[in-house]
Amino acid sequence: MKAPKILLPSLSSKIALYDSVLRQAKNFNHKSLVVGADCNPNCPGARVVKRFKILPPLIHLNENELLNVLLGWGITHILPSRDGELHYWADKANLLLDHKVKVLISSPDTIRLCEDKFLFFQRISPCGLKVIPCFRSPSSSEYEKWVVKERRGSGSKGLLISIDKFRAEEFGASLSEPIYQPYIAGKEFTAEGWINKNGECMAVLLRWRDKMVNGESFVSTTFRNTDWENKIKTLFSSINGLKGHCLGQFIVDHGENLNLVEINPRLGGASPLSLSSGLNSILWSLREESGKQFSDSDFQPLFETKLTKLNGQVFISYPN
């Protein structure tokens, strides 16, 4: 297997993510490269990352044009990280693989399931965890407070939390396809995991979402809870077609129960913390492709590491 040249599309301001992916790729092969790409030549990452390319909007590229771009740049792997592009790259995965370009992504059906929050609630097996119910209207009298969001797409867009039924209906009328979930009070955390090509979740790392802004973690801290880790590994392994890096959002309610909010089959905004704390998902995916099997000793997680986002920059600190 030659040295990978990984494309990170929709780079935007994901400088810390670019650096984390590059470190893991170089741990696989010191000649590995990562190319950040974006349709905006003036995006924040363009001025900072080592290698940047302007990638035209994907909807403007036919298959031949896409292949010409990727093969012309010498790309061997693609690592999507934005919800809006996951469908595109998953649908093109087989075509690209025929030309020896591998997309590190879950199956198209799995991506569609995870994106559709209403369908996800109907089909997901809880595996011993609670899944927050999802309704098409706030008609249940069992709940006093509601969360309203769009049925598809990023959960942080078009979102209101802890509102009464009247306000929920009013806000829902402004959305294109609203869904309603009961508001669960508690502490939020993210579980990031790596799933091998056979659909087995081999490693999970937990991080508290200590401070959030518009649904994104601005302060996050890794922690250990083996019981939760085992339950979440079982959950991730139960979802057919889930592969590579993924993350789940959970709420721990006042009864210490885990409530599943959603699963995102991609890297997240605070994933540099997990990638710097022992979840070597990029490295493991490259090793698996080269024929090396994962072993338990490969996962040596670090706890109490902290990510802080400040003025557009990401800082990671480690315990003394």
Determine the pLDDT at residue 217: 81
Determine the pLDDT at residue 157: 59
69 and 137 both lie in a single domain = no
In our burial notation (b when 16+ CB lie closer than 10 A, e otherwise), range 241-275 reads bbbbbbbbbbbbeeeeebbbbbbbbbbbbbbbbbb
d(CA 74, CA 68): 10
Residue 30 lies in a domain: yes
Give the mean pLDDT of 67-93: 96
Residue 122 lies in a domain: no
pLDDT of 154 higher than 80: no
Residue 125 lies in a domain: no
Determine the pLDDT at residue 155: 52
Segment 161-207, tens digit of pLDDT: 999 999 999 999 999 999 999 999 999 999 999 999 999 999 999 99
Determine the pLDDT at residue 66: 97
pLDDT of 124 higher than 90: no
Mean of all residue pLDDT scores within the chain: 94
Please work out, in degrees rounded to the nearest 5, the angle formed at the alpha carbon of residue 119 by the alpha carbons of 115 and 120. Answer: 65
Residue 176 lies in a domain: yes
- The CATH number of residue 241's host domain is 3.30.470.20
Report whether 138 contacts 168 (CB < 8 A).
yes
162 and 206 both lie in a single domain = no
Report whether 164 contacts 145 (CB < 8 A).
yes
25 and 74 both lie in a single domain = yes
Other C-beta atoms within 10 Å of 65: how many? Answer: 11
Please work out, in degrees rounded to the nearest 5, the angle formed at the alpha carbon of residue 7 by the alpha carbons of 46 and 289. Answer: 155
Give the mean pLDDT of 145-162: 82
Which structure tokens are listed for 37? 């790409």
Determine the pLDDT at residue 216: 77
The residue segments making up the domain with residue 95 are 5-105
271 and 312 both lie in a single domain = yes
58 and 76 both lie in a single domain = yes
pLDDT of 252 higher than 90: yes
d(CA 73, CA 81): 20
Q: Edge-to-edge strands of the sheet including 178-182?
A: 160-163, 146-150, 178-182
Last residue of a domain, one of 162, 182, 202: 182
42 and 74 both lie in a single domain = yes
pLDDT bucket at 127, cuts 50 / 70 / 90: confident
Report whether 85 contacts 10 (CB < 8 A).
yes
15 and 61 both lie in a single domain = yes
Report whether 300 contacts 2 (CB < 8 A).
no
pLDDT of 280 higher than 70: yes
Q: Which residue has the tokens 């338990």?
A: 296
191 and 165 both lie in a single domain = no
Hey, CA dihedral for 64, 67, 110, 153, is it positive or negative? Answer: negative
- The CATH number of residue 15's host domain is 3.40.50.20
Residue 124 lies in a domain: no
How many CA within 13 A on the CB side of residue 212?
13
| Cβ-proximal residues to 42 (8 Å cutoff; 6+ apart), any chain | none
205 and 280 both lie in a single domain = yes
DSSP single-letter state for residue 44: G
Total of domains in the chain:
3
Determine the pLDDT at residue 168: 94
54 and 140 both lie in a single domain = no
Other C-beta atoms within 10 Å of 25: how many? Answer: 24
Residue 123 lies in a domain: no
Give the mean pLDDT of 94-113: 96
Residue 60 lies in a domain: yes
Give the mean pLDDT of 209-235: 91
